[in-house]
């Protein structure tokens, strides 16, 4: 079975671009809706950011990303190891996927587009599982940021 190399999600958020940007680019706020403790952390291009995952069932894991681009109110991207959930496995030699968030104004709100790409570089033994879990995960995270912003 041939898997696509990317996952794409779009959601129209009823919030101004500046507010959506803050929820993405402010690490502490990002962690609140994404499910990671990033208290005291910042997202800086070229710097790794790590935090304890707070999502139920995954609290034993550390969220670890390499921030790539931080273009205010436009693009935020990072690289990570998708679905790296086995504490005994060293994922460091694997290729990371890129997660890119893009913002654009639309219909009085903000269109948030998320693209995770590079799944073809993931070892075949875990590619399908990583793709499926992240695909489901992005559905959930889009609902999370929408709910977070509706209460902000």
Q: What is the CATH number of the domain that holds 92?
A: 3.30.530.20
pTM for this prediction: 0.96
Start-to-end CA distance of the chain, whole Å, equals: 42
**Mean pLDDT computed over 72-81:** 98
41, 49 Cβ separation under 8 angstroms: yes
**Structural domain contains residue 64:** yes
**Structural domain contains residue 1:** no
Domain extent, residue 32, equals 6-151
Q: How many domains does the chain have?
A: 1
**Mean pLDDT computed over 115-122:** 97
**Structural domain contains residue 34:** yes
**Structural domain contains residue 70:** yes
Q: What is the pLDDT of residue 1?
A: 58
- 87 pLDDT tier (thresholds 50, 70, 90): confident
Mean per-residue pLDDT over the chain, rounded: 96
Whole-number Å distance between alpha carbons of 56 and 66: 24
Q: For residue 102, what are its two tokens?
A: 């893009």
């Amino acid at each position: 079975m041939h898997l696509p190399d990317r996952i794409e999600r779009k959601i129209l958020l009823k919030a101004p671009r500046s507010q959506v940007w803050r929820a993405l680019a402010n690490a502490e706020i990002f962690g609140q809706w994404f499910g990671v403790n990033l208290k005291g952390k910042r997202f800086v291009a070229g710097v790794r950011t790590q935090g304890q995952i707070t999502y139920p069932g995954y609290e034993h894991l550390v969220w670890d990303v390499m921030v790539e681009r931080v273009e205010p109110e436009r693009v935020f991207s990072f690289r990570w190891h998708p679905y790296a959930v086995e504490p005994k496995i060293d994922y460091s030699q694997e290729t990371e996927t890129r997660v890119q968030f893009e913002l654009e104004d639309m219909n009085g709100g903000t269109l948030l587009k998320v693209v995770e790409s590079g799944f073809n570089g993931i070892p075949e033994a875990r590619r399908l599982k990583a793709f499926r879990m992240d695909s489901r995960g992005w559905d959930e995270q889009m609902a999370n940021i929408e709910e977070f912003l509706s209460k902000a």
